[in-house]
Amino acid sequence: MSEAVLHVTVLGSTGSIGKNTLDVMARHPGRYRVFALSARQDWQTLLQQCQQFQPVYAVLTDPQAAKPLQDALVTAKLPTEVLVGDDALVAIAEDARTDCVMAAIVGAAGLPSALAAARAGKRVLLANKESLVLAGALFMAAVRDHGATLLPIDSEHNAIFQCMPAGYRAGMRAAHVEKILLTASGGPFRGCSGADLVAVTPEQACKHPKWSMGRKISVDSATLMNKGLEIIEACWLFDMPESAIEVLVHPQSIVHSLVAYADGSVLAQLGQPDMRTPIAYGLAWPERIPAGVPALDLLAAGKLEFEAPDESVFPCLRLAREAFRAGGVAPVYLNAANEVAVAAFLDRQIGFMDIPALVEQALSAVPAVTQLSLETLLAADTEARQRVSAEVAG
């Protein structure tokens, strides 16, 4: 191995993407070293990760969880220093000693640290799609202006990136790409009617047929809001209009997305539904490394099917397109309303079909904000959350 070791910060290391990232890194100990890890409050998992990877820093954003981690690290005679709070996330993302940042916090909470990594010119492995939904223009400008290397980790966007012309970098408009075909598994409720969905439970919504993921994105996959957020994510990453992003339901989740060129060629990336493939791609780009993923057996997979999404049952696709076209803080409202509604659904306070209803309602009252900075975007996020929370409580 000729290159230097890559020092990696994993934001959200105790989550589904975070654990998969550490799994891939552990397969290549000579190539990657963990610089810092972070979690909200799960200090036990963070402790295990500190034992295995001995990072310089471990960050907890919940101050209550910091003391037990600190004590356990001292007892275990581990050198890792514990930092606390949201500012510490930004600090480990922009630290001069880290080369690469995996942004794998869930929700809008992941924006400030992901943006800090971009502004510090890091190699940014972006799983936190919400960053681009909230702050696409700001984020892509930061990547460009600070020479960051942005590698999409969301499986569809990683697939699209892989199908782009040689030399392609995120944010560029690729010549002669006419369309992006974004695949969707369809989630656990594919083929259901609106009436079928009224009484579904969080357990049913989180039981994804193909992917094992955190609870928030699992519910987003069930409402198809995940695909809505991904349409917006694709517009920013690939500098394409929303009208050029077509959603195709593909229940087998083997074709991870496709790119249609002007000469009639359509390129696709195929693989097992295992996030370690896009994660390994991001870690090693422009090289390739083993990811621990079994080889794809197309004969065992059998059929690959494609169908149109049913937007009458799953209105979130339309809502996301409308929010993107409206611009300003409309996507912030879309995302905030969705986060509050999903949390309320997981908490059994509202029904499944109340999620799109609350998002639609929030989108009908978006204030006009023209100056889009991190501060104004976060203020809009807070305001939208307050309004939707009041709606849920009322």
Dihedral sign from CA coordinates of 363, 139, 159, 13 = negative
Interface pick for ligand NAD out of 168, 209, 211, 327 (rule CB under 6 A): 211
Which of 31, 40 has the CB closer to ligand NAD? 40
Of 269-298, which residues contact ligand NAD (CB under 6 A)? 275
User: Per rule CB under 6 A, is residue 331 in the interface with ligand NAD?
Assistant: no
Inter-residue contact 276 to 23 (CB < 8 Å): yes
Q: What is the DSSP string of 101-138?
A: EEE---SGGGHHHHHHHHHTT-EEEE--THHHHHHHHH
Interface pick for ligand NAD out of 9, 14, 223, 335 (rule CB under 6 A): 14
Decide which of Mg ion, ligand NAD, none touches 18; Cβ closer than 5 to 8 Å per partner kind: ligand NAD
Alpha-helical segments (H) within the chain: 16-26, 43-53, 63-75, 86-94, 111-119, 130-145, 155-162, 194-197, 202-205, 215-223, 225-238, 276-284, 298-301, 316-326, 330-346, 354-363, 374-393
Ranked by CB distance to Mg ion, the top (closest) residue is 154
Which of 17, 248 has the CB closer to ligand NAD? 17
Taking contact as CB under 5 A, which single stretch among the options 136-144, 146-154, 353-361, 376-384 is the one that binds Mg ion? 146-154
Which of 49, 98 has the CB closer to ligand NAD? 49
Structure tokens given for 134: 């909230």
> How many angstroms separate the first and last alpha carbons of the chain?
60
Decide which of Mg ion, ligand NAD, none touches 209; Cβ closer than 5 to 8 Å per partner kind: none
Residue 129: CB partners within 8 Å, gap ≥ 6? 154, 157, 229, 230, 233
Exposed/middle/buried for residue 378 (C-beta within 10 Å: 0-12, 13-18, 19+) = middle
Interface pick for ligand NAD out of 213, 279, 334, 336 (rule CB under 6 A): 213
Interface pick for Mg ion out of 154, 274, 339, 381 (rule CB under 5 A): 154
Phi-psi region of 171 (alpha: psi -120 to 50; beta: other; left: phi over 0): left
User: Per rule CB under 6 A, is residue 39 in the interface with ligand NAD?
Assistant: yes
Residue 338, amino acid: N
User: Per rule CB under 6 A, is residue 251 in the interface with ligand NAD?
Assistant: no
Instruction: In angstroms, give the least distance from the CB of 207 to Mg ion.
Output: 17
Q: How many CA atoms lie within 13 A of 304 on its CB side?
A: 15
Tell me the C-alpha distance between 195 and 129, whole Å. Answer: 30
Interface pick for ligand NAD out of 61, 80, 98, 162 (rule CB under 6 A): 61
Interface pick for ligand NAD out of 42, 99, 360, 383 (rule CB under 6 A): 42
Decide which of ligand NAD, Mg ion, none touches 105; Cβ closer than 5 to 8 Å per partner kind: ligand NAD
Instruction: In angstroms, give the least distance from the CB of 61 to ligand NAD.
Output: 4
Interface pick for ligand NAD out of 127, 197, 259, 313 (rule CB under 6 A): 127
Residues that bind Mg ion (CB under 5 A): 154-156
Residues that bind ligand NAD (CB under 6 A): 12-18, 39-40, 42, 61, 104-106, 109, 127-130, 154, 211, 213-214, 216-217, 275
